[in-house]
């Protein structure tokens, strides 16, 4: 064996490591479009929609309307963040980076794990940003609801990490977020993040319940509003997570089978 | 070496061929890119895979790197499956294009590779140094020139300190200066005894940097020889004459004759000593219309790789 070479061994965890996540995080935050999309836009929308005295003075459940809008925007932000995180695979495939990674010990599953951790990390940051802005403009929630709404908005955004991965493998485009951004906008509208679904008319409200953003919003706002049907929201999230995860797995398998 | 009671078989890279291709075929639908290549490369060799575009060079390299599986035949790299050899860092590669993210800096890209191979910061500095890009380590990849990106790929390939380094058309798109610098770095590196395989369609590169040249055409090896043999192939001249009923055996027996070809009434002789052939033809036979043309590497290459060429002039 060559003396200059350290023992040739495979890395633990298939190559997944905090150092790798750190490098990837730094790269993601370097992308101005990602930062604007995931951190700035939800905060700006919250300032536009939630920052007025009427909403501050109107109660919803145990809080006020500003708080209600804040949670919706946190969901929106977390969703954009996790989708972007998942959709990174598209850019990396287009650049031939995925192929380059096959010349390393990194296992495909570890690669996906890195992307999920990354997506959830920036999703968390996005929720925190929305809550900080909300707090500054007078959102009012019981203490337990701040924590529970925040955690639920974040955890449920995992649906969209799966969605991002699926789309990332499906669309071999450099600008996949330019397609997914408007799609998420429409889904958010349909899912009641911008306007409560019952204000959209009966037919639309019924359709809305089947769209993927609806469930996340309902669940995340539940600790505050205690209305709506929680089980419907949970069912919605469970079904859509399965759909996107199965889709992502299907594309992922096809992708690695080409090896 | 001390014999231990270790039950695991001790495999030393030097015990194996660096690359062992055995009847390898690669088809994409009805297209056969690689049509039964058998090739053995020993540790320490610097081998050029020479051939025109579409000859099957990249398909062959992809299989050696485990990026694709052969349709038939077997590929072994240091006695292992290609994918395992890659994961252990026994083999690494500088690919033709792509494979870089423009949002990373040069240093981060190499650091990421080192992280994946479980190597420390010293490895990163050394790789950057040896690839000659220490001075641009903080530059974003997207702001690097083609030559700089290629040297970054080289730095990444150095990270696992591979036994075998594969370069796929490494200087495509580089200017003359960049090409020279790149090869200087590679040649410097090969002195350490690393096995190197590079695909190229630049004859000068194969001639200048390889110990062994493997000509590939339409997915098959058409010639395989040392650089010296390739030079001999190129240094000869061609004697052409009209000679009905030429005695091929007699012509082949002449000193310095590489090959004899008869096309109808025309006889074509490739020889290192063309004068002797001409003298023989004009004094001992009825040959007429005699012409002598010099044959450079370019022509040898074209003869060997052109689709209508016959497989003459092979050194082995």
**Phi/psi-derived region of residue B312, left when phi > 0, alpha when psi is between -120 and 50, beta in every other case:** beta
Q: What value does the mean pLDDT take over residues B71-96? A: 94
pLDDT the model gives residue A243: 94
B128, pLDDT greater than 50: yes
pLDDT the model gives residue B299: 62
Residue A69: CB atoms within 10 Å? 25
pLDDT band at B315 (very low <50, low <70, confident <90, very high): very low
Q: What value does the mean pLDDT take over residues B184-204? A: 85
Q: What value does the mean pLDDT take over residues B162-188? A: 85
* CA-CA-CA-CA dihedral for A112, A113, A117, A119, to nearest 10: 20
pLDDT tens, position by position, A115-129: 999 999 999 999 999
pLDDT the model gives residue B4: 39
A249, pLDDT greater than 60: yes
Average model confidence (pLDDT) across chain A = 88
Of A99, A106, A259, the CB nearest to B116: A106
* CA-CA-CA-CA dihedral for A237, A241, A242, A243, to nearest 10: 100
DSSP-based three-state secondary structure for A136: helix
Contact status, residue A83 vs residue A161, Cβ threshold 8 Å? yes
Most confident of B12-26, B74-88, B225-239: B74-88
pLDDT band at A172 (very low <50, low <70, confident <90, very high): confident
Domain B236-305 in CATH 2.60.40.420: no
**Distance (Å) of CA A232 to CA A160, A185, A215:** 18, 22, 7
Contact status, residue B201 vs residue B169, Cβ threshold 8 Å? yes
Q: What value does the mean pLDDT take over residues B228-256? A: 80
Residue B234: CB atoms within 10 Å? 18
Contact status, residue B198 vs residue B210, Cβ threshold 8 Å? yes
Closest A-chain CA to B105: A27
DSSP-based three-state secondary structure for B257: strand
Q: What value does the mean pLDDT take over residues B206-228? A: 85
* DSSP symbol at B140: B
Q: Which residues of A touch B195 (CB under 8 A)?
A: none
Q: Which residues of A touch B86 (CB under 8 A)?
A: 102-105
The pair of three-digit structure tokens given for residue A184, joined into one six-digit string: 């998420």
pLDDT the model gives residue B70: 95
pLDDT the model gives residue B311: 42
**Distance (Å) of CA B47 to CA B114, B197, B204, B214:** 27, 5, 14, 7
The nearest CA of chain A is from the CA of B200 a distance in Å of 20
CA-wise closest residue to A111 among A101, A124, A103: A101
Contact status, residue B30 vs residue B140, Cβ threshold 8 Å? no
Best residue in A104, A113, A258, A259 to probe B by mutation, most B CBs within 10 Å? A104
Contact between chains at A99 and B98 (C-beta distance less than 8 A): yes
How many Å apart are CA A183 and CA B266, to the nearest integer? Answer: 72
* DSSP symbol at B307: T
Q: What percent of chain B has pLDDT over 70?
A: 85
CA count, 13 A, side-chain hemisphere, A241: 15
Best residue in A8, A88, A174 to probe B by mutation, most B CBs within 10 Å? A8
Q: Is B276 exposed, middle or buried (0-12, 13-18, 19+ CB in 10 A)?
A: middle
Q: What value does the mean pLDDT take over residues B180-201? A: 85
The nearest CA of chain B is from the CA of A29 a distance in Å of 10
The pair of three-digit structure tokens given for residue B127, joined into one six-digit string: 């790789």
Of A8, A31, A99, the CB nearest to B89: A8
Contact between chains at A96 and B89 (C-beta distance less than 8 A): no
pLDDT the model gives residue B8: 41
**Distance (Å) of CA A184 to CA A78, A80, A193, B13:** 11, 7, 11, 53
CA B238, B241, B243 angle in degrees (round to 5)?
140
Chain-centre distance for alpha carbon B80 = 21
- B32 contact A CB<8A: no
For chain A, the residues whose C-beta falls within 8 A of a C-beta of chain B are 1-2, 4-6, 8-11, 15, 17, 19-20, 23, 26-27, 30-31, 91-92, 95-97, 99-106, 258-259
B203, pLDDT greater than 90: no
Contact between chains at B65 and A105 (C-beta distance less than 8 A): no
Beta carbons within 8 Å of B193's beta carbon, 6+ residues apart:
B43, B44
Helices (H), A157-211: 158-170, 176-190, 202-208
pLDDT the model gives residue B199: 93
Q: What value does the mean pLDDT take over residues B229-249? A: 79
Q: What value does the mean pLDDT take over residues B145-162? A: 92
Contact status, residue A168 vs residue A89, Cβ threshold 8 Å? yes
pLDDT tens, position by position, A65-115: 999 999 999 999 999 999 998 888 998 988 889 889 999 999 988 999 999
Domain coordinates in residue numbering, chain A: 14-257
The pair of three-digit structure tokens given for residue B42, joined into one six-digit string: 């020993």
Domain coordinates in residue numbering, chain B: 13-230, 236-305
A144, pLDDT greater than 60: yes
pLDDT the model gives residue B10: 42
Q: Which residues of B touch A1 (CB under 8 A)?
A: 12-13
The CA-based diameter of chain A, rounded to the nearest angstrom, is 76
Contact between chains at A102 and B68 (C-beta distance less than 8 A): no
CA-wise closest residue to B160 among A237, A130, A104: A104
- B143 contact A CB<8A: no
Contact between chains at A105 and B111 (C-beta distance less than 8 A): no
How many Å apart are CA B282 and CA B44, to the nearest integer? Answer: 48
Q: Which residue has the tokens 């905090």?
A: A18
Contact between chains at B101 and A97 (C-beta distance less than 8 A): yes
Q: Tell me what ipTM this predicted complex has.
A: 0.86
Q: Which residues of B touch A27 (CB under 8 A)?
A: 101, 103-104, 108
Contact between chains at A105 and B92 (C-beta distance less than 8 A): no
Domain B13-230 in CATH 3.40.50.300: yes
B306, pLDDT greater than 70: no
B305, pLDDT greater than 80: no
- B12 contact A CB<8A: yes
> Does B13-230 match B236-305 in CATH topology?
no
A177, pLDDT greater than 60: yes
pLDDT the model gives residue A154: 95
pLDDT band at B3 (very low <50, low <70, confident <90, very high): very low
pLDDT tens, position by position, B103-114: 999 999 999 999
The nearest CA of chain B is from the CA of A227 a distance in Å of 45
Average model confidence (pLDDT) across chain B = 84
A252, pLDDT greater than 90: no
User: Among A172-176, B116-120, B275-279, which stretch is predicted with the lowest mean pLDDT?
Assistant: A172-176
pLDDT tens, position by position, A22-70: 999 999 888 888 888 888 988 999 999 888 888 888 888 888 999 999 9
How many Å apart are CA B43 and CA B14, to the nearest integer? Answer: 7
Q: Which residues of B touch A177 (CB under 8 A)?
A: none
Contact between chains at B88 and A2 (C-beta distance less than 8 A): no
Contact between chains at B103 and A6 (C-beta distance less than 8 A): no
The CA-based diameter of chain B, rounded to the nearest angstrom, is 77
pLDDT the model gives residue B183: 85
pLDDT the model gives residue A62: 83
């Amino acid at each position: 064996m060559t003396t200059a070479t350290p023992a040739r061994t495979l890395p633990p965890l298939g190559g997944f490591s905090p150092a790798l996540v750190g490098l990837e995080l730094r790269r993601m935050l370097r992308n101005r479009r990602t930062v604007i999309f995931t951190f700035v836009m939800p905060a700006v929308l919250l300032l536009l929609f939630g920052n007025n005295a009427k909403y501050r003075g109107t109660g919803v459940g145990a809080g006020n309307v500003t708080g209600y809008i804040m949670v919706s925007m946190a969901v929106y932000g977390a969703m954009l963040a996790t989708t972007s995180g998942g959709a990174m695979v598209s850019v990396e495939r287009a650049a031939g980076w995925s192929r380059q990674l096959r010349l390393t010990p990194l296992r495909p599953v570890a690669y996906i794990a890195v992307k999920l951790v990354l997506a959830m990390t920036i999703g968390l940051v996005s929720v925190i940003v929305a809550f900080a802005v909300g707090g500054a403009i007078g959102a009012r929630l019981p203490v337990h609801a701040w924590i529970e709404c925040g955690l639920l908005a974040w955890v449920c955004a995992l649906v969209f990490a799966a969605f991002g991965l699926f789309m990332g493998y499906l669309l071999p485009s450099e600008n996949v977020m330019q397609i997914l951004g408007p799609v998420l906008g429409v889904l958010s509208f349909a899912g009641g993040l911008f306007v409560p679904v019952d204000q959209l008319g009966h037919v639309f409200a019924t359709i809305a319940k089947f769209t993927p953003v609806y469930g996340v919003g309902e669940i995340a706002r539940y600790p505050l509003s205690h209305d709506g049907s929680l089980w419907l929201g949970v069912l919605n999230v469970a079904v859509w997570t399965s759909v996107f995860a199965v889709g992502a797995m299907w594309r992922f398998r096809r992708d690695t089978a080409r090896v | 070496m001390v014999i231990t009671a270790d039950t695991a078989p001790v495999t030393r890279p030097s015990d194996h061929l660096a690359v062992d291709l055995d009847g390898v075929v690669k088809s994409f639908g009805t297209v056969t890119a690689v049509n039964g290549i058998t090739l053995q490369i020993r540790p320490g060799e610097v081998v050029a895979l020479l051939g025109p575009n579409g000859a099957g060079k990249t398909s062959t390299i992809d299989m050696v790197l485990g990026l694709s599986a052969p349709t038939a035949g077997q590929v072994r790299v240091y006695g292992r499956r290609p994918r395992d050899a890659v994961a252990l860092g026994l083999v690494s590669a500088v690919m033709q294009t792509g494979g870089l993210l423009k949002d990373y800096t040069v240093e981060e890209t190499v650091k990421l590779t080192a992280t994946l191979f479980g190597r420390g910061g010293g490895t990163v500095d050394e790789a950057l140094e040896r690839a000659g890009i220490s001075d641009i380590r903080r530059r974003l990849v997207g702001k690097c020139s083609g030559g700089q990106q290629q040297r970054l790929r080289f730095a990444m390939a150095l990270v696992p300190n591979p036994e075998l380094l594969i370069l796929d058309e490494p200087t495509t798109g580089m200017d003359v200066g960049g090409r020279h610098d790149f090869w200087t770095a590679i040649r410097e590196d090969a002195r350490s005894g690393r096995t190197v395989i590079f695909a190229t369609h630049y004859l000068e590169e194969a001639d200048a940097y390889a110990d062994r040249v493997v000509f590939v055409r339409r997915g098959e090896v058409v010639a395989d020889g040392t650089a010296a043999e390739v030079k001999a192939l190129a240094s000869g001249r061609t004697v052409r004459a009209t000679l009905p009923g030429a005695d091929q055996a007699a012509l082949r027996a002449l000193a310095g004759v590489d090959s004899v070809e008869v096309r109808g009434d025309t006889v074509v002789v490739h020889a290192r000593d063309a004068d002797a052939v001409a003298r023989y033809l004009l004094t001992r036979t009825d040959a007429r219309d005699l012409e002598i043309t010099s044959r450079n590497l370019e022509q040898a290459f074209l003869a060997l790789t052109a689709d209508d060429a016959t497989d003459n002039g092979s050194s082995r």
